Amino acid sequence: MEDNGFDDQFAQWYTTESSRRTTFLAEIDSIAVGMVNLAVFERMPRPGHPASRWGYLGNAFVLAEHRGQGIGTALLNALTAYAQDLGCARIVLSPTDLSVPFYERADFGPATMLLARVLTSK
């Protein structure tokens, strides 16, 4: 699919987002074959409660010809360990229907502790 404005949109997004995301890259022979990133959100302090943060897993992808080789699992494990080291209380994501079994195998489950309101564009 061709999108003439994509490069500029991506560059603008990356400039805005890169400082608050940690990206994990999988390479084979110095060629990128997969990635995932984590955006960390700091919670507002509350009296009598320790500082808290949570992570949003985004942009997980492994090239089709490299799937099923453990690359996605390695990326997810690295991201999870990093989030745990940061003291994140949870990692959340918006999976595609096809990726749900992958995340379920990694002990992700429904986020019953969250509420969401889906906004429609005007």
Instruction: Give the rounded distance of the alpha carbon of 27 from its chain centre.
Output: 18
Give, as one character, the DSSP assignment of residue 46.
-
**pLDDT at residue number 31:** 96
pTM: 0.84
DSSP β-bridge partners for residue 60: none
Determine phi and psi for 120, rounding to 5 degrees.
-100, 150
DSSP β-bridge partners for residue 91: 55
For range 76-86, the mean pLDDT: 96
Q: What tens digit of pLDDT does each residue of 15-63 get? A: 998 898 999 999 999 999 999 999 999 998 889 988 889 999 999 999 9
Q: Which fold has domain 21-105?
A: Aminopeptidase (3.40.630)
**pLDDT at residue number 118:** 82
CA atoms 93, 11, 44, 49: torsion sign:
positive
How many residues would you count in the chain?
122
Domain boundaries, the chain: 21-105
